[in-house]
Amino acid sequence: MNQISFRQLAGADRVLGIDLAEHCVRVVEVEERILPLRKSQSRFNVRNHFTLEFDREVEYLKRSDLLKKKITELGIHTRYAATSIRSLGVKVVEAIIPSGTHNVDEWITENQEKLLRIPLSSGSIAHCVEILERSDSGTRVEITFVRKEEIERYQSFFRTAGLELITLGAGFRDASNVMKLDKAFGGKVEKFLFVAEDSINVTEFIQGRRNRSYQAMTPFTHTQPDNTSIFLSGERAIQANFPSSQLIQPLGLTPEYCLSIGLALKALNSDISPTNLLPAEETNRITVNLYKNIFQRSVLLAGAVLIALLFIPFVLETYLNWRSNKLDDQLLANGNSYTELKLLETQTRDLEKQLSESNTSIRSSHTAKFLHNIASASPDGLWLYKIKLDAETKGNSKLSLFGYTLKSEKVTDFLKNLNSLGYDANLIRSGNPQQNETLIPLKKDAVTFEIATQMKN
């Protein structure tokens, strides 16, 4: 499973890779995705891409306004950008720093004129370093020198365009970042050629590790050894004629977007290339803003979870109340049957109370069996509405059963059924309802009765 990066937590999972050439700008919006179950697919996805041509007469800062307008027209909301300084003033030098050197930047500043071979003020030059190889004799590094005024010019351009510049490279070095995009390096020597309009940048890899980079002028001739693989991309890669070379079209785009995609990959994963020419205070400010975004997103997420935890019980309570009210409505719709059920429940509770107050030894199982027998003995069309338990006499308890029916012969059948079950049942009264029975919801022409029976303890 792909790990979630720091920038993804801060919501910066999309970056604009911008190749700012002399007469045009190439922009690619790259998104970093999380693909836990699709390891064969790329974790990077192109959201948008376009090329904006500039007229030669258009001023430099005016071009940034045109870029801002184009981004707005396409509905691109990403504001993080990565670019590279394409200038003749960029100087890349390979050097070996002696072992035992504690501060690499101080060593470079002290040896700057020697490395550049021109007298320049150290305050006007900025540099970044990438370590290529460590050994006992020293550390082989690649140093990129750029004038500070060039850096400020690029920062001003992107501020005017309304973009947050988070990575600033130099030259065409970062185009080779696409070599690590969904590609398994072999054991051979591999060379990546970025073909520009007037030059070719060559990056050499040995067993997947970048060995060195150098600039070559066109036309370029190269003798390919048997153990070397050539990969080709860049603005003029399609027109270039290199036999036995493989054309790279990163993320499915044409080779002219190679540098833009390489810059976006570098911004999304700094491990690909650690070099960044932005001033330290600028990178610190960007890091602080990302941490602020993480904090804000965490607070919003915690608030959403808290609201959900409070809302779920409310929904459940509302649903249960609705179900309860619905059941009550169904019971009320049953009319007399519901009333009879409530009366029987009341009489059952009274009977249990009488049994407990009379200190009888009747077990609950015996009582349940007796009530079950009474229910089974009741014929259809006969209803009981009251059961009365009298005081114990000589080991027996007298029970009076009160009920009603629409047919008098049902009373006779009830007596026969009780006696067949072994109960000594006698009819006490049968006929029209008495005055104390008027509260019972009787139907017209109903016959009420009272039956006395004995229940052994």
What CATH number is associated with residue 263?
3.30.420.380
Say yes or no: 385 and 246 in one domain.
no
Q: Residue 308 and residue 216: Cα distance in Å, rounded?
A: 62
246 falls within a domain: yes
CATH code of residue 400: 3.30.70.60
Compute the C-alpha angle 48/51/56, nearest 5°. 155
- The fraction of the chain above a pLDDT of 90, given in percent, is 16
Same domain, 265 and 404: no
> Which range is most confident: 2-6, 268-272, 329-333, 389-393?
268-272
Query: Strand pairing partners for 128?
Result: 144
Q: Which of 33-37, 72-76, 310-314 is modeled with the greatest confidence?
A: 72-76
108 is in which domain, residue-wise? 6-278
The answer, yes or no, to whether residue 184 has pLDDT greater than 70, is no
User: 52, 25 in Cβ contact below 8 A?
Assistant: yes
Task: Residue 227: count other Cβ atoms within 10 Å of its Cβ.
Answer: 10
Res 40 pLDDT > 50 = no
Q: Answer whether 381's CB lies under 8 Å from 410's CB.
A: yes
If asked whether residues 270 and 367 sit together in one domain, one would say no
Decide which of 303 and 118 is more confident.
Answer: 303
Is 317 within the bounds of a domain? no
Note whether 15 and 81 are within 8 A (CB). Answer: yes
Sign, CA dihedral 362-363-366-370, equals positive
239 and 142 part of one domain: yes
Domain shared by 376 and 243, yes or no: no
- Please indicate, yes or no, whether residues 241 and 388 belong to a single structural domain of this protein: no
Does the structure show a pLDDT above 70 at 77? yes
Across 200-204, 263-267, 292-296, 451-455, least confident range: 292-296
Round the average pLDDT of the chain to a whole number and report it: 80
Is residue 326 one of the residues assigned to a domain?
A: no
Euclidean distance between CA atoms 378 and 412, whole angstroms: 11
Tell me, yes or no, whether 430 lies in a domain: yes
Residue range 380-393: mean pLDDT, rounded: 78
Dist. CA 113–CA 116, nearest whole Å: 5
Q: How far is CA 179 from the centre of its chain?
A: 30
Of the three residues 233, 253, 278, the one that is the final residue of a domain is: 278
pLDDT at residue 60, rounded to an integer? 85
DSSP for 261-319, please give it.
HHHHHHHH-TTS-----S-HHHHHHHHHHHHHHHHHHHHHHHHHHHHHHHHHHHHHHHH
Q: Is residue 215 part of a domain?
A: yes
Confidence at 62, pLDDT banded by 50, 70, 90? very high
Quote the distance between the C-alpha of residue 264 and its chain's center.
23
Instruction: Give 197-239 pLDDT, tens digit per residue.
Output: 778 888 888 887 888 888 876 556 655 556 788 888 988 888 8
Position 452 in a domain? yes
Mean pLDDT across 59-86: 92
Give pLDDT, residue 338: 61
Q: What is the pLDDT averaged over residues 26-52?
A: 78
Domain assignment present for 1: no
- Distance separating alpha carbons of residues 412 and 407, to the nearest angstrom: 10
Contact, 419 vs 425, CB < 8 A? yes
The pTM of this model reads 0.63
Q: How confident is the model at residue 444 (pLDDT cuts 50, 70, 90)?
A: low
Q: Which of 20, 19, 278 is nearest to 152 (CA)?
A: 278
425 burial type by CB count under 10 A (0-12 exposed, 13-18 middle, 19+ buried): buried
Least confidently predicted of 64-78, 391-405, 422-436: 391-405
3-state secondary structure of 346: helix
In one letter, which amino acid is 357?
Answer: E
pLDDT digits (tens, 9 = 90+) for 92-145: 888 899 988 888 888 988 888 888 877 766 678 888 888 888 888 888 888 888
Q: Is residue 363 part of a domain?
A: yes
Q: Of 253, 278, 303, at which residue does a domain stop?
A: 278
What's residue 439's pLDDT? Answer: 45
**Domains identified in the chain, total number:** 2
Residue type (1 letter), 334: N
Residue 255, preceding peptide bond in cis (omega within 30° of 0):
no
> At 2, is the pLDDT very low, low, confident or very high (cuts 50, 70, 90)?
very low
> Which residue among 256, 278, 300 closes a domain?
278
